[in-house]
Every structure is written in structure tokens, then in C-alpha cells.
A and B are shown apart, each in its own frame.
Chain A
Amino acid sequence: GAVVSQHPSRVICKSGTSVKIECRSLDFQATTMFWYRQFPKKSLMLMATSNEGSKATYEQGVEKDKFLINHASLTLSTLTVTSAHPEDSSFYICSASEGGSWNTDTQYFGPGTRLTVL
């Protein structure tokens, strides 16, 4: 199956700093990438959808100036948490999809990034 990687897997940072998380599709070209946030024992909450070469579409209630998303190529998307605060501590997961048709719209998820803001 398709492989999606995330880096780093775990990051601890001080309050007020910015953190960048990378999401890569390793063996396919991802037209669309998604960023999710997951709280303990909860479902995945979609934060934003990004298409290669265009601006991300953010879900209602997600601050686009705080969670900067860049999808510069068909294999890489980045999420930058700017001026992180303890309430931003969470498990962030990306997913990628080839998109375009019934047969290629399956989402494949990365392993997640555990962010802890002190």
C-alpha cells in the first residue's frame, strides 16, 4: 500500500516558539493532503485540506495564521504551528490522497507527530 511519512514523530518545544511538521508521500504523488488533530481517546478532527500549488482550505474554527500549511510539491506538505502554546499540545496526523477519481481518492495516513508545548 501507499506510504506516508511524517517528521518528526515527537517534538517538545517551549511556549512561543514555532514548530514545523513535514508530511511526505513516499511512493505516490499526492494531489491532496489533509492535516488532522487528535486528542486522547477522540476521533480525528480535520484542520485543513491542501492541494499542491494552492492555498490550504481551513476548517471552521482553525486559525490559519497559527497553523500555516504549505503544499509545495506533490510529495510534501508542511504544517507550521506558530507561537505554540501548551493548548496546542496534541497528536497531529497528515494524510495524502492521489485524488481525481473513485479509484485514487483513498486517504493514506502518516504515523503522526506528538507535539508537547511546555
Chain B
Amino acid sequence: QQQVKQSPQSLIVQKGGISIINCAYENTAFDYFPWYQQFPGKGPALLIAIRPDVSEKKEGRFTISFNKSAKQFSLHIMDSQPGDSATYFCAASKETSGSRLTFGEGTQLTVNP
């Protein structure tokens, strides 16, 4: 019940296109859903996060869509750029867990020039 399932495992997008990564969770107690971006040899960096009280959050080219009833959330990267090529992880946690994050398996995004 602690799993977060992420898809696709890898994604190739042309420059200027939209990248979409999906995650599904099982534990309805989760109430915080961050996305992290990781470049090779570096630690993950917080990209954007959402709470279940809203269905969408946008920051620049990055948007999280959240569907509470379906227990799904997704990351949309608009106007994808080669510099966005990285591994993206979704995660989830519940307030009572002391910030303990449950991570998805990651998506390797490649944006071709």
C-alpha cells in the first residue's frame, strides 16, 4: 500500500514538445506529492509539488495535474528543451510520516534537439 508506480520508464520527446510523466499511488493517506529532477551524478532537486486540495499547479513550463479520486498525478513539461533531459521521480508522503517519501521508479527523459 506504500507503492508509487511511475510510467513510462523512459521517454523521448522532440524539442518544443510536451513531456508527460504519470504516477499512481495506493495509500489514500498520502497528502504531499513532489516531483524531483535528477541529473547524472547529482542529487535530486525539488521541481514542483502539490497538495491534494488543488487539482493543478503550474510553475513556469512545469505543471502537476492531480486526480484525487483516481489516485493519480502527472507532470507535464511544456516546450521541452534539451536541458530538461534528466531523470524525473515522483514521490508521495503523509504529514504524519515525518516527511518520509515514497518514490516512484523514475523516468529517463531525453529531449532531442
User: Which residues from chain A sit less than 8 Å from chain B, CB to CB?
Assistant: 1, 4, 6, 32, 34, 41-44, 46, 49, 51, 91, 93, 95, 97, 99, 101-102, 105-112, 114
Cross-chain contact A99 with B99 (CB below 8 angstroms): yes
Chain B interface category by residue count: 20 to 34
Assuming the contacts A43-B89, A44-B89, A114-B41, asked whether A106 and B100 have C-beta atoms less than 8 A apart, the reply is no
| A4–B41 CA distance with the chains assembled, in angstroms | 15
Name which of B59-67, B68-76, B78-86, B102-110 contacts chain A.
B102-110
Cross-chain contact A102 with B95 (CB below 8 angstroms): yes
Chain A neighbourhood of B89, CB < 8 A: 43-44
Cross-chain contact A105 with B99 (CB below 8 angstroms): yes
| A24–B46 CA distance with the chains assembled, in angstroms | 17
Residue B93, interface by CB 8 Å: yes
Chain B, interface SS category: loop
Shortest distance from the beta carbon of A102 to any chain B beta carbon, whole Å: 6
| A101–B98 CA distance with the chains assembled, in angstroms | 9
Chain A neighbourhood of B46, CB < 8 A: 1, 106-109
User: Which residues from chain B sit less than 8 Å from chain A, CB to CB?
Assistant: 31-32, 34, 36, 41-46, 49, 51, 89, 93, 95, 98-101, 103-106, 108
Other than the given A105-B93, A106-B46, 10 more pairs (CB < 8 A) read A6-B43, A41-B106, A41-B108, A43-B103, A44-B89, A99-B98, A101-B95, A102-B32, A109-B36, A111-B42
Most buried by A among B32, B51, B104, B108: B32
